[in-house]
Amino acid sequence: MRSRIAIGVIGAFFVVSVIAACGGSSDNGVAAKSPAAIVRAAVDAMAGVTSVHLSGSIVSGASPIALDLDLVAGKGGRGRMSTNGLSFQLVVIGKVLYINGGSAFWSHFGGAAAAQLFKGKWLKAPASTSDFVSLAALTNLHQVFSKLLVSHGKLAKGATATVKGQKVVAVTDTTKKGTLYVATTGKPYPVEILGTGAQGQIAFDRFNESVSLTAPANAIDISQLQR
């Protein structure tokens, strides 16, 4: 009898632990708030996030940029980006940026000689370098969310729905025509930002998971090449 009770207690503890790890399934009350308050709740929730995965695309000028990045608060990020058929890997750790492009990438920016020289190699440079500062900014977790969530026009609350398996409430920026979907259970994290037409879509998941940022070995220092 005691062994059955012990097993039952352990089983119950396991279920509770799994629910807690998933952020819970109870209504967080955000759907009842005003649109501005919903956005503020998402901003406040993101302030405490230690890491997040974002994927999708944004539009810069007339060119869509595909993103698949893991961001770590206060440290940097890693992942892959591509635009106009040119793809590259990116790692940012503190004030240092590392980049590794395919042959097409280096051929486009440096010609055949660069493609041959940098094939399979990582380059590193200060993240503040003018050519890379905008890329490095995309790995700054809180800076990214500040730009995405704080800068908006007139807001209107939409319907509740399910996005990527998560219950959400929609808030539309009627000025910029983008829609933010915020989780209505657990923490009110942003789940997706969806632009109109071809204006991009970004999804967010894997909040607060462990992400290791490691500097690529034997990276070529760009400053040494410029001497």
pLDDT of residue 5: 37
pLDDT in tens, 126-160: 999 888 898 899 999 988 888 878 777 899 999 99
Q: What is the CATH number of domain 26-225?
A: 2.50.20.20
224 has a pLDDT exceeding 80: no
Span 112-137, average pLDDT: 88
Say which residues have a Cβ less than 8 Å from residue 155's Cβ, sequence separation at least 6.
Answer: 35, 36, 39, 171, 172, 173, 174
Global pTM value: 0.81
pLDDT of residue 212: 94
**Token reading at 19:** 């629910």
Per domain, the residue ranges of the chain are 26-225
Q: What is the 8-class DSSP label of residue 30?
A: G
* Average pLDDT of every residue of the chain: 84
pLDDT in tens, 156-187: 999 999 999 999 999 999 887 889 999 999 99
Give the other-Cβ count within 10 Å of 64's Cβ: 18
